A and B are shown apart, each in its own frame.
Chain A
Amino acid sequence: MATVVQPASLPPRRSAAAMFALMQPLGTAGLLVILVMAVAAAFAPWVAPYDPLTVDYGAMLAAPSLEHWFGTDAFGRDVLSRIIYGARTALAIGFISSLFGCTTGAGIGTASAYFGGKIDLVIQRFVDILLSFPIIVLALVVVTVLGKWQMLGIDMNLIGAIAIPIVPKVARVVRSSALAIRTMPYVDAARAAGYSHTRIIFRHMVPNIMAPFLIMFTAFIAQAILLEASLSFLGLGVTEPTPAWGLMLSGNAADFYREAPWMILFPGIAISLAVFAFNLFGDSLRDWFDPKFKV
């Protein structure tokens, strides 16, 4: 121990956020895009140049110009404004349904691992059954079964239809993490101390599955946005006149391919960009949490 490390040669202590920005540049870029979209969505009335619902037959199918940056649709509605308001729909539905699906899935997965035995077996068989439906097929069945149920201007059943396919996937992943945690000495200690099942699950196990939970939560927001767009495109999700990206691609947008390509170009870019940003951020979050990748 002859050399003494000079304090000056140590890297300066940085906050976790700064470290993340430094080590995950792609993820930070994703996060920035998400933030810009969220701000635009939250302050849509101030950001959007026009009202998204105002029909202007004088400006039907207008090409992108200084007046209408992204052009107008078949009803003369401003495409840019509809995309900005559409961000509200996409982010709200994506966020709520991912939160709802991931939380339920995590709860089921943890409980399944904690109780083990017959309960675990039954839950896992049920998860198996749900997993054998492709996501969109399950969502499609749920959405037609439930119909519409508006609350605070959001179709709650649509959220349910998007959240339900997420549940088994999260349950499966969380269960495997929780199985490892269950054998930890501190869980045995908590049991020996006579704590209730709920207390052990929520105070001792759940905090330790937060990392996979957060990663999946971000990743499934991306999936949920994509799913909402697909359902709306099929005419089974968000309905007119609510501005939604998938909806903007359906209906008469498809009839005006040649005359008004901007009608399908910009909403598609918006969907791709949002999903791309969440995926980038989710990926970086996984690398960040995974100790294998830490230098």
Chain B
Amino acid sequence: MRHTQNIRKTFARLEYTNKDMHKDTDKKLILWRFVYKNNVFSWETEKGKPSVTHSTIFLLLLRRFKKKTMSIKNTIKKIFQGKLPIALRNLAAAGAVFLLLDAACHLNPAYDWVWNVYIQANLREVSSLPHASLDERLTMKLGEDYQYVIFVRDATPSNSVIFYPSLADFTTVLPGNEKSPFSGKLTDKLSAIRILYPRHIVLEDEMGRTPWSFKITNVAIVNRRNVDKLPYQVPSHYYIGVLPTDSTMVNY
């Protein structure tokens, strides 16, 4: 019996023929012939080996032959020498690499942090709230400070000039030694501008030094600090918020 694989209109072909059983081992054999440009290579294998398709064998041989990167005999040997030991070797190597990486994670807390916190926990956190708004995502990172600044943003017109609290205002200790809810992450002027733009910001140390400090329209109040910047009395229960300098526009 003879089969021929003549693939992609090349002049190469691969033939394989069933041969009689080996008289000593009773194994069924196949006789192979690879023909390319008047070169004929023939060899024998056991039936069922290799477990790849005939067209794969043909393409591998043809590629090697055309590139001349490896002798055709070596290629034949490599293809038919059996994949099982190489597969086992790969599994062992991959397993060893995996164990090494795992050991590195256990030995070095920084790698452990990268893998378990930075990669996995972050992904879980992101997956848990996939549709959170931009403000919600920033609140997750910046906390109460951000919530306060977006409150100021939403409570003031876009052309307002806001007196903005300092770090000391944000972190001051409240009456009764109560801790301030703010951490002072957004006390830098540029950070505040990023959220409040196009509103203008004036800081304590700029008062009287810049033209904008004479145009303040709103005062941001945290922990009841800066109420003295307003030209009117503020109720004693008013601790956090933003109030206009114009008393006629006050709405508690």
Chains A and B belong together in one complex = no
